[in-house]
Amino acid sequence: MKILIIDDDVIDRMAAIRTLKESELSIGQIDQTGFPEEGIAWARDKQYDVILLDYRLPPSNGIEVLRELRGLQGFSAAVVMVSHSNDEELALRCVEAGAQDFLMKGELSGIRLKRSILLASERYELERRISESHLQLRQLAEHDSLTGLRNRYFFDQALQDAIPQARRNGRNLALLLLDLDKFKNINDTLGHVAGDEYLVKVARRLELSIRDGDNLCRLGGDEFAILVHDLERVDQIRLLVKRLFDSLADPVVINGAPVDISVSIGVAVYPECGSDPVELMKSADVAMYRSKELGRNQVQYYSQRFHSAMENRIQLENDLKKSLYLDQLELYYQPLIDGTTGEMSSVEVLVRWNHPVRGLIGPAEFIPIAEETGFINEMGRWVLTKACQQFGRWRQQYGLSRSLTFSIAANLSARQLKDHGLLSHLHYCLEHYQIPPARLELELTESCLENSLVVLDQLTALANLGVNLSLDDFGTGYSSLAHLKDYPFNILKIDRTFVSSIQQESDARLLKAICSFAHSLGYQTVAEGIETELQRDICVSLGVGRMQGFLFSKPLPLSEFEFGWLTSESGSC
């Protein structure tokens, strides 16, 4: 038996040790300390059978220490509280706080202490078994016996708790009701055992689709529910719904035969669709049955405005996938001006979408959709092809008659860095359109720089190809010397926020620091977002290599750019 004594009185500790040795208990180890913090640490790190805990432990008291001990993960010792006081109310408080027994120090004897320790150990063991039984009963009460998912009892309580939490946090809460279509047919044709197997396999697939922290429950029969917490944006639900449908797309095999899965989903969002559990549940239920009425195996959103927004997003996604072969994408061009000569030193290509109904759509609206759907790889290759093709034409058209010295720059996204065909495609474009690699710049934002060997290998391969790599929006993310040294960038494009905030010279302190940092490490610098002459002059004085912004030119379609910058004196190519 291992025993720990926590008592600030050294004489009392010695007396307790002497009494323990007289008790004829089978004691293997006795540790002692007069400091509560040390006692708690020992109890955490070692496994004691019994702790003798003094009630008076300045600056706190034994009950506070007891509560800390009981709160330790894996704590498994019986606790006997000791005190010079014979106050019965104090003894009751100690037992209520979790002690297994209470003894007066003045009455300690070997026999009395032995009996107390043995009884305390038995009581603790009984408490442990009761606690384990309660835990098992709770598991049974809150879990579905067939699928192992949380059940209706848990769901009702979770929904009841989730709404006040969402209200406090100011976050959206979504409720998804899922009903398996024509499940009765499976039971009728294959039998109830096969139906149960079907439900279990569907449950496993649904589990793989939800985020950590969200609650997937089986409400009963063929009906499931998902509580989605802490939504930053309501349109994130669309991505979850897509994952759910994708996970159920392939049939399950029952009795050696494939069985298709069809599910109708209804979605309701707090607080828009209901301010309490009853209203939210009713809204999701209405949406789910509406989904069944409209043909099954689809989703319906209770809010008309939300549903319209989701339909619009889905329509935009479908339209975007058609944009390439319908020739709706177009490149715009924005010049970058040399900080020393004032001439155009490079041009950035920017993609725009000429939507047949909505008109010209900017990248901020459709690039995130392309990223989410994976269409960004196909679009990115198109941009690189068109940019190199156009640059090759300019070199043929103007290269013989004048010195065509500017470069061309295009953007890459995080998804493109994982496109294994990117390098070979880029190599083809450079050779086919006769572009010197050093005349092409590829811009990436800091968000692309995840801790991934694939990304690092791709960037290294691009750098080895001879193209220039530019880190866009520099200064807004997680830039650091340690971070930059891992990647082969040679250009830092300073984020526009450091320029746009300059209204007078004193506003340029951050920009000055960033430029000093970049130049000290040998990076070329680009400042974007320049709209005033003061901002331009300050950038020039700080040695910024190139400048970009509306002061010089907004992004222009091809014809306007060629007229303004290639066929006039303003370009000075």
Is the link from the previous residue into 164 a cis peptide, with omega within 30 of 0?
no
Cβ-based neighbours of 93, under 8 Å, separated by 6 or more: 63
Strands 215-220 and 223-231: antiparallel
DSSP bridge pairs for 492: 471, 525
DSSP state letters, 262-304: -EEEEEEEETTS-SSHHHHHHHHHHHHHHHHHTTSSSEEESSH
The CATH code for residues 2-140 is: 3.40.50.2300
Q: Which of 73-82, 189-198, 204-213, 412-421 has the lowest mean pLDDT?
A: 73-82
Quick one: tokens of 424? 């070979």
Q: What pLDDT, on a 0 to 100 scale, did the predictor assign at position 560?
A: 94
Cα angle value 32/35/36 (rounded, 5°): 100
Total residues belonging to the chain: 573
Domain residue spans in the chain?
Answer: 2-140, 152-317, 328-566
Residue 14's H or E segment, with its range, is helix 10-22
* Separation of alpha carbons 53 and 61, rounded Å: 10
* Separation of alpha carbons 300 and 229, rounded Å: 19
Q: What pLDDT, on a 0 to 100 scale, did the predictor assign at position 569?
A: 45
The span from the first CA to the last CA of the chain, in angstroms, equals: 89
pLDDT in tens, 28-85: 888 988 888 888 889 888 888 888 888 887 776 788 888 888 778 777 788 888 888 8
* Separation of alpha carbons 288 and 296, rounded Å: 9
Report the pLDDT averaged over residues 399-409: 73
The CATH code for residues 152-317 is: 3.30.70.270
Q: Name the residue with higher pLDDT: 112 or 78.
A: 78
Q: Which amino acid is at 162?
A: A
Cα angle value 456/461/467 (rounded, 5°): 115
pLDDT in tens, 226-274: 998 887 777 788 888 999 999 999 999 988 889 999 999 999 988 888 8
* Separation of alpha carbons 241 and 252, rounded Å: 19
DSSP bridge pairs for 32: 5
Can you point out the beta strands (E) in 111-262? 172-180, 215-220, 223-231, 252-254, 257-259
172: left (phi over 0), alpha (psi -120 to 50) or beta: beta
Q: Mean pLDDT over all residues of the chain?
A: 85
Q: What pLDDT, on a 0 to 100 scale, did the predictor assign at position 137?
A: 60
pLDDT in tens, 277-328: 888 998 898 888 888 877 888 898 887 666 666 678 888 889 999 999 899 9
Topology adopted by domain 328-566 = TIM Barrel (3.20.20)
Query: Which among 242, 275, 271 is positioned nearest to 170, based on CA atoms?
Result: 271
* Separation of alpha carbons 270 and 299, rounded Å: 17
pTM for the structure as a whole: 0.57
User: What are the respective helix, strand and coil percentages of the chain, to the nearest 5?
Assistant: 50, 20, 30
Q: What pLDDT, on a 0 to 100 scale, did the predictor assign at position 196?
A: 92
Q: Are 235 and 310 in contact (CB under 8 A)?
A: yes
Query: Which among 22, 9, 92 is positioned nearest to 52, based on CA atoms?
Result: 9
